[in-house]
Chain A
């Protein structure tokens, strides 16, 4: 193999001579002796060059489980813990001695039924059976008084710290809502066939039929959007009501006397319980 077909200049030739004259770099005697014995015996240990150490300061190889899997598992556990702790107080019957009954899915539960809290989850369909309203509470946060015959999709109890918004969908009937001290900062959307009500802390009633909705605000203020005109937001203050129709003009007016009395009684009865819980 000829390597002389391209003549080198004097500088390069000098460098070639100098490089070729570089002395050998013999291995240390103790290293040589140890490695020789290991090579002959076939017992050479792995070196760090085969598995370069990740950045760790002391050069130790940190196992995959410690570097990646453990932090991921820890993050998953912490995330799961956060999700569990972030859940709002579960729904329960405010008065277990009440004779009111609630249908959850296909099953009817008495207010005293110990299995009831387990089935009261966000999104389940509930309907009040019999003649007595059913009071559902999320401790310190919210009371929903559902009148007989009313069917709705239960909202999640407002979460404690993050994602504190939930939605209740009413199909037909009436629900009265009293918010408690822990509701502050949360948001409850009440959807009816013709309107969407945004509750941020108040006492109100939502009365709806398939073609109309009346929102009676006892105290505080709610924001209402009609489905036929979602661009328009109506702010209804305490002592007022807004009645909306699917195919007729909507209007506002003073809260109905009877509803004002019921909401006042409910607020007076429930608020102390919400504060105590």
Chain B
């Protein structure tokens, strides 16, 4: 059975994974960074370490891509692209730092390439969005009761639909902050933007989401 890692982020400069699970600004649990010696093995392309590294981050990367693109199929392409770039850049992996911001930046860049590509023009987003909305309905949020499952799945689908309707620059900020648990400063570093700009985008994203969902302020 494959290991399950929730999305988790530790501040840069950590030396190991002994800190235990941590939560981001939104309270979401984030992927725990591997120990330094493990990252050094990854950097040396040790096959077993590579496998563990892959297992640790595959769902986080794939999930982020899927939420960003609103399309699980496109997310697989992006995930493959991310791991391809990671493998090529392993020589530059800093074992003293949490690799997640680096992976986040690569994933966001790969998603942006898709956004710039012809397959993700505005008019072509409706079908992929429906894909992920269908996925939401088939993957309930909790197990409390079937009715609650259904309500939760439908609400999740509506929220995902609203997220997908956001402009690209707002969508990535709100997902990285609220769903992946990155701070605004961490997002700014990952996306190469300023902290005030990210704050502003985040605020606009939440406002736009509320408007799209038709909720009163």
Taking beta carbons and an 8 Å cutoff, which residues of A are in contact with B? 1-4, 6, 8-9, 11-12, 14-28, 31-32, 35-36, 38-42, 44-50, 52-55
Main secondary structure of the interface of B (DSSP, over half): helix
Indicate if the CB atoms of B54 and A35 lie closer than 8 Å: yes
A35-B87 Cα distance, complex, nearest whole Å: 12
Indicate if the CB atoms of A15 and B59 lie closer than 8 Å: no
Which of chain B's residues has its CB closest to A44's CB?
A: B84
- Quick check: which of B13-21, B22-30, B33-41, B122-130 contacts chain A, the rest being far away? B22-30
A106-B160 Cα distance, complex, nearest whole Å: 86
Given known contacts A1-B183, A9-B217, A26-B59, A16 and B178 CB-to-CB distance under 8 angstroms:
yes
- The 8 Å CB contact of A20, one of B27, B79, B80, B110, is B27
Indicate if the CB atoms of B113 and A19 lie closer than 8 Å: no
Indicate if the CB atoms of B63 and A24 lie closer than 8 Å: yes
A21-B81 Cα distance, complex, nearest whole Å: 27
Indicate if the CB atoms of B67 and A22 lie closer than 8 Å: yes
A8-B26 Cα distance, complex, nearest whole Å: 12
Main secondary structure of the interface of A (DSSP, over half): loop
Given known contacts A36-B51, A42-B45, A4 and B77 CB-to-CB distance under 8 angstroms:
no
A263-B184 Cα distance, complex, nearest whole Å: 96
Indicate if the CB atoms of B55 and A23 lie closer than 8 Å: no
Indicate if the CB atoms of B113 and A52 lie closer than 8 Å: yes
Indicate if the CB atoms of A52 and B116 lie closer than 8 Å: yes
B190 at the interface (CB under 8 A from A): no
Indicate if the CB atoms of A27 and B62 lie closer than 8 Å: yes
Interface size (B, Cβ < 8 Å)? Answer: 69
Smallest CB–CB gap between A276 and chain B, Å?
61
Which of chain B's residues has its CB closest to A31's CB?
A: B76
Indicate if the CB atoms of A15 and B113 lie closer than 8 Å: no
Q: List chain B residues, Cβ under 8 A from A38.
A: 83
- Nearest first, the 10 A-B pairs at minimum CB distance are A52-B117, A1-B183, A25-B66, A19-B178, A3-B25, A20-B26, A44-B84, A27-B62, A25-B63, A12-B206
Indicate if the CB atoms of B83 and A24 lie closer than 8 Å: no
A-B contact sample (6 more), CB < 8 A, given A42-B45, A45-B84, A47-B78: A1-B185, A4-B25, A19-B26, A25-B62, A36-B51, A49-B81
Given known contacts A27-B59, A32-B58, A53-B118, A15 and B79 CB-to-CB distance under 8 angstroms:
no
- The 8 Å CB contact of A22, one of B2, B55, B159, B203, is B159
Q: List chain B residues, Cβ under 8 A from A46.
A: 84
A194-B211 Cα distance, complex, nearest whole Å: 84
Q: In the complex, which residues 145-198 of chain B have their Cβ closer than 8 Å to any Cβ of chain A?
A: 155-156, 159-160, 163, 174-175, 177-179, 181, 183-186
- The 8 Å CB contact of B159, one of A11, A19, A49, A52, is A19
Indicate if the CB atoms of B179 and A20 lie closer than 8 Å: yes
Given known contacts A3-B25, A36-B51, A46-B84, A8 and B179 CB-to-CB distance under 8 angstroms:
no
